Structure 1
Amino acid sequence: MTSITLYSPTIFTFSETDKVDRERSIEFINSLETHFLKGVDITIDLSNTIDAYAETTLVLFAQIHSMRCRNRTKKKQNHIQIIYPTQDSNPNGYALFISTGLHSALEASSEEDIIALTTRNNFYQSGNSDRFDDMVLSNWEMILREEISIEQQFLLHQGVSEAILNVKNHAYITKQSLCNKIGKGRWWQCSWYQRSKRTFVFLVYDMGCGILGSYSKENLTDTECLREAMTEGYTRYNNRKRGKGSENIKQVISQNVETERLTVYTDNLIYLFQYNDGIASDRCVTSQVLAPINGTLVVWTLTLLEDE
C-alpha cells in the first residue's frame, strides 16, 4: 500500500477574514478524506501548526474519528499515524494539541475511547443516537458545574440539547451507509465556560447532508433557504410546532446575555446571527472557498448577564 504525509497549515482556521489560511485548512481536511478513500496509508503531521481554532480542530477530530470508524469495516485497512508538536520545538502547538486534551480525542480509535472522553470531561467529545440520553445528561452536568443562575443553566441546556437533537433527527437522512459505519446520528462537540468573562462556547459538527440537503427549498435561493431554515419557528420538516436548536439558542440570546454570536457553516454558505446591546441581526453569505467543508458546523458563543 502506498503512503503519504499530509501537513497541517501553520494557521489552522475557517475564518472568512483570513481567506488564504482558511482555504489551506479546508484543503488539508478534505485531502485526508481523499487519500483515505484511495486506500493510502496516511501520516498526519501537525507539528508545524502554531495557531488553531476550535472550529477547525473539532472538524479535524471528526474527520480522523470518522476514518478510524470506517477503517474497521474495510478488508484492507489504511494505516493512520499522527505526528504532534513537541514542547521544545513548538510550545504553542504543543499547548493546542496536547494540553487541551485534543490529542486524546484524535487518538480515540474505539467507542470505548470516545466514551472515555466524556467520562474524563474532555473538551472534545462525540455521541450518536444510541448515546443521546447519556450525552444530554453529561452536557447538563457540565452546565450545572458553573456558577450561573438556574434560569441560565436551564436555557443553555435546552439550546445545547436541541442542537444535538437536530443532528440526530435530520443530519443523515440521505447518508444511511455512512451512519452504519460511524454510528447513527453521529455528532462531534466541543464546549467550555470561561468564568472570568462569563463566556459559554458550544460547537457541534456533523458529517451529514448539510442543511440544504435536508430542508425543503420551495423555489428559494440557497441563501434564502438557509436563512429561512434558521428562522425561529421553522424546522427542516417545515413544521412550526417542532423545536430546533436555533430557536432555543435565540431564546437564550434574547433573555440572558450581553452579547452573542451564532455561526453556521453548511455547504458553501455561512449564516451569522448576532446580538449586542439589545439589537439582533442576521445575515447569510456565500463563502468564496473553492471547496466547502462537508456537513454542518454550528458555533455558539455567548456572554451571560451578571446575576442580579
Structure 2
Amino acid sequence: MSQEIIILDFSSLEEISAAGAVALFARVTSAQISSGNDQLFQIIQPKKHNVRKQFRGSGLFNALRPGGRRKLDKLWDEKSKFLSGYDQEKHLDPTLDLIGDTLDDGTPNHLKEAINEAILNIQQHAYRDPANGLSSGLRRRWWQYCYLDRDSNRFIFVISDLGQSIPSSFSQSHRSHEELIAHAMKKGVSSTGDPWRGKGSQNIKDPVELEVSDKLIVISGNGLYVYNSSNIKEELAGLSYPYYGTLIAWSFDLLGGKNDNRN
C-alpha cells in the first residue's frame, strides 16, 4: 500500500523570517520522525531566483529534505545553521561554538546564559507532560537557527520546542495568552509556584538590555511577547492561530555598541 505524500509548495514564496523558518523546520522534521516516513514531504522550491538561493543557501532546504533522527544528527556534523538537539550536555557547547564562529569574535556571555536557560527550560519543563502525544524521539528535543545578516548588521538566534506552551503551564485562564507570557517573564515567577525558582526569565531578557534596537521575541500558544529593555514597555499581541510549543528569538544590532561589552 502506497503512503501519502504531503506537498509543501513554496513556489510563490517572497520571503521567510528566521522565526518562521525554525517553526517550519520543527514541524516538518517532527512529522518525519513521528510518522517514520522519510519521504512524507515533497518540497517545491521558490520560483524567484534570489528567494530560492536563500532557501538553499541558508541550509533550510537541506534541513527539510527526507530523513529522520539520523538526518538531524548529521546536521551537527555538517555545522548547519539549522540544528535540532535533545541533550544539553551534548549540544550546548557546539551551539555556542557555532555562534562564536558566526560572529567572528565569540559569543556574548549574556547570550550564553540565555541559551543555556532556554535549553534548561525545555529539558525540565516543556515536555513534563508525557501525554502530549509526542513520540519518544521528540520528547526533550528542540530546534534552532542562527543567522548573521551582514547587509543590515543584525544577528538572530532562534530556538523552539514543541512541548506544552507557556500559557498552558499556568492556571490563570482569565488572562490572555500574551498576558500569561508577560507574567511568566517577570523575575520570580515560576509555573511550579516554588519561591526559589523563576530567576531564569531575567537571564533570557539580559542579552537585549544594553541596546533598544535589540529585541527578544517569545511566541507561545496564542500569545506574542516582544521585549527591548526594562525601560521600555513590552509589546503584547494575540495570535489568530496557536503555536503549539514555545519559540524564542533574540535579534541584535551589531553596530549598536554591544560588542564593547561582549566578554
Does the pair score TM above 0.5? yes
Report the TM-score range of the alignment, normalised by the length of the smaller protein.
0.7 to 0.9
Shift in Å, 1:259: 2.5
Residues 62 and 83 of structure 1, relative CA distance in 2, 3 Å threshold? same
Counterpart of 1:141, as a letter, is D
- 1:210 and 1:266 in contact (8 A); partners too: yes
CA deviation profile, 1:68-95 (whole Å, cap 9, x unmatched): 11112xxxx5952323326xx4203312
- Separation in structure 2 between the aligned mates of residue 46 and residue 197 of structure 1, nearest angstrom: 25
Q: Pick 1 or 2: higher relative contact order, CA cutoff 8 A, min separation 6.
A: 2
| 2:147 maps to 1:192 | yes
- Separation in structure 1 between the aligned mates of residue 139 and residue 53 of structure 2, nearest angstrom: 33
TM-score, length of structure 1 as denominator length: 0.73
| 2:45 maps to 1:85 | yes
The equivalent of 1:307 in structure 2 is 260
RMSD: 2.8
The equivalent of 2:89 in structure 1 is 133
| 2:14 maps to 1:50 | yes
| Number of residue equivalences | 257
TM-score, length of structure 2 as denominator length: 0.84
The equivalent of 1:280 in structure 2 is 232
The equivalent of 2:75 in structure 1 is 117
The equivalent of 1:217 in structure 2 is 172
Name the % identity.
25
Counterpart of 2:82, as a letter, is Y
**Aligned partner of residue 301 in structure 1, secondary structure:** strand
**Residue of 186, 190, 193 corresponding to 1:231:** 186
CA deviation profile, 1:157-192 (whole Å, cap 9, x unmatched): 111111121112111222446443433211111113
The equivalent of 1:23 in structure 2 is none
Q: What are the within-5 Å matches in structure 2 for residues 238-257 of structure 1?
A: 238-242=193-197, 245-254=200-209, 256-257=210-211
- Separation in structure 1 between the aligned mates of residue 51 and residue 213 of structure 2, nearest angstrom: 30
Q: Which has the higher helix share?
A: 1
- 2:18 and 2:156 in contact (8 A); partners too: no
CA deviation profile, 1:114-146 (whole Å, cap 9, x unmatched): 122122221111111xx2212111122123333
Counterpart of 2:43, as a letter, is I
The equivalent of 2:224 in structure 1 is 270
Shift in Å, 1:297: 1.5
Shift in Å, 1:48: 2.4
- 1:45 and 1:83 in contact (8 A); partners too: yes
Query: Which consecutive residues of structure 1, in runs of 5 or more, have no partner in the other structure?
Result: 3-38
- Separation in structure 1 between the aligned mates of residue 199 and residue 160 of structure 2, nearest angstrom: 15
The equivalent of 1:98 in structure 2 is 56
Shift in Å, 1:102: 0.5
Q: What are the within-5 Å matches in structure 2 for residues 24-35 of structure 1?
A: none
The equivalent of 2:157 in structure 1 is 202
**Aligned partner of residue 269 in structure 1, secondary structure:** strand
Query: Which consecutive residues of structure 2, in runs of 5 or more, have no partner in the other structure?
Result: none
- Separation in structure 1 between the aligned mates of residue 89 and residue 190 of structure 2, nearest angstrom: 22
- 2:38 and 2:68 in contact (8 A); partners too: no
- Separation in structure 1 between the aligned mates of residue 173 and residue 232 of structure 2, nearest angstrom: 26
- 1:190 and 1:202 in contact (8 A); partners too: yes
Counterpart of 1:307, as a letter, is D
Counterpart of 2:71, as a letter, is D
